[in-house]
Amino acid sequence: GAGVSQSPSNKVTEKGKDVELRCDPISGHTALYWYRQSLGQGLEFLIYFQGNSAPDKSGLPSDRFSAERTGGSVSTLTIQRTQQEDSAVYLCASSSSQGHNEQFFGPGTRLTVL
Amino acid sequence: GENVEQHPSTLSVQEGDSAVIKCTYSDSASNYFPWYKQELGKRPQLIIDIRSNVGEKKDQRIAVTLNKTAKHFSLHITETQPEDSAVYFCAASMNNDMRFGAGTRLTVKP
């Protein structure tokens, strides 16, 4: 079946502009995660959605970052007033609440802030 | 919340040698410990995982060990090959709440 998809694959924006990144998880997966990965670095946890529970936003680096998950499926990560240090690959992952908790990652969105 | 530490950050081995990557976690309630491999420019993919009711698991050249008392787990790769070169991430999870280590960049020299 279809895996996790993300759009756009690449996004170039100017400093100060807002951007929206989209994640389509695997159908039926209740858990959805956003991570940020700077060049050559690890997976920085941003936010975690589990079903209808309040999301765990503890990883969001500033109030310029926010995320929504509508209808328990698609999620949008929004970065307002982008800064150059926001440049990174943003990865989304989803997992099922059934069985083991393997996370399946999307291909990522490469964000470049000029 | 859970905190996962991973060592070493970089590891270079000769082809055919073994590689060991170690992780520690802080939350004793964590019960699922996956390892992900991320090749250059690609997304992380699960290579092996272990649950808290098991001490060791092996899959061909890859094995993982778990010590719940000490709260640490390790990845062992034997007979390394150049295609094993990648970044490896450990993680600890409970009820889908997963946290990753910082990653280990493994280089296997031919």
pLDDT in tens, B82-101: 999 999 999 998 877 888 99
Q: What confidence score (pLDDT) does residue A99 get?
A: 59
Q: Cβ separation of A42 and B1 shorter than 8 Å?
A: no
> What average pLDDT score do residues A21-36 get?
94
Q: Of the candidates B43, B44, B96, which has its C-beta nearest A50's C-beta? A: B96
B42 contact partners, CB below 8 Å, separation of at least 6:
none
Q: Cβ separation of A101 and B32 shorter than 8 Å?
A: yes
Q: What confidence score (pLDDT) does residue A52 get?
A: 83
Task: Tell whether the model's pLDDT for residue A106 goes beyond 70.
Answer: yes
Task: Tell whether the model's pLDDT for residue A89 goes beyond 80.
Answer: yes
Q: Cβ separation of A30 and B45 shorter than 8 Å?
A: no
Please classify residue B35 by burial: count the beta carbons closer than 10 Å to its beta carbon, then call 0-12 exposed, 13-18 middle and 19+ buried. Answer: buried
Q: What confidence score (pLDDT) does residue A35 get?
A: 95
Instruction: Specify the amino acid at residue B37.
Output: K
- CA A48, chain centre distance (Å): 9
* Chain B residue closest in CA terms to A55: B97
